[in-house]
Structure 1
């Protein structure tokens, strides 16, 4: 197994164990054992379990952001573009249930340092803040602090994905998909 393969095996195993057992109940020894690597190999790549968690968190956030950006089809109409991004984000969550479960557990967890969450929100998902600012400039998004709006978007995304994961048959129903976007948009829209 190459160094890259070993690192990926550690990350894949950590993801499964963190979701199944929780962060605190998962030991680095268990991760290494189930990944088929020596504990020293794990610590070669990640100096601590916290560093492993942070790397996993940021790499999954980056994968999520890359998938959404790759699906972007700018129309020039902010609401339509937001709708497309919303559905792309939900599609990613439905297609990646283990990674989404990880987000559900750890996105707001004190286990992930605030600085790491801020890096994810402002750097990796910075395009969302840009869209909010664009919408505020156009007067279609409420003029609230961008950081608060980003956290609100994140909370709504987690709520919607939780609903669709718990009720998978509803994801195929246009009325439910549309309702999820309408709830999201109404929370963001400028009061008129």
Structure 2
């Protein structure tokens, strides 16, 4: 990951937590300055305004997530084992980093997101799904469809866990990902 200054990182991390708690509009720059422990002027040294701060925060946590996913793809596992491991690892990541989960959901659906292209449609994970199609492991559909199913299931189960409305055991998670695999995998004849 790209090295950033401690102050800039403190600003980004404080913004992430505050947006998770108060939303975009309920998080003024003054509160970000207070929570990050920097002067308000320091924020404007790094960012021209709130829009640029939120856009850079998106890129910052997207890079964290990409790094996390890349570190979890283990070449020695079978494709199915990688698929299951990635799903469980992403569920764990979002469940233990709810501020990232909430930020992504808010950002992707906000006017700040000029790109309008979900952050998952690139990188090693997207390539992982494409290779599954090419290798005959996954159904021959657009990889974006598989990605939507995969990520949708991860995020929904993570939100359920974070909100505490239903607790999932390891067995429950394994059943969920096995069902997802059955839906997405190419049936072997």
TM-score norm. by structure 2 comes to: 0.82
Structure 2 residues without counterparts, runs of 5 or longer: none
Instruction: Quote the residue 2:174 is aligned against.
Output: 178
Cα deviation for residue 157 of structure 1 reads 1.7
Greater relative CO (CA pairs within 8 A, separation 6+): 2
Change (3 A) 1:136 1:72: closer
Instruction: Quote the residue 2:26 is aligned against.
Output: 25
Change (3 A) 1:78 1:112: farther
Instruction: Quote the residue 1:51 is aligned against.
Output: 52
- In terms of fraction of residues, the more helix-rich structure is 1
Where do 4+ consecutive residues of structure 1 move more than 4 Å? none
Q: Take 2:156 and 2:179, find their aligned partners in 1: how far apart are those partners?
A: 11
Cα deviation for residue 9 of structure 1 reads 1.9
For these two proteins, the number of residue pairs brought into alignment is 185
1:85-96, aligned counterparts within 5 Å?
85-96=86-97
Change (3 A) 1:79 1:66: same
Instruction: Quote the residue 2:70 is aligned against.
Output: 69
Structure 1 residues without counterparts, runs of 5 or longer: none
Cα deviation for residue 40 of structure 1 reads 2.4
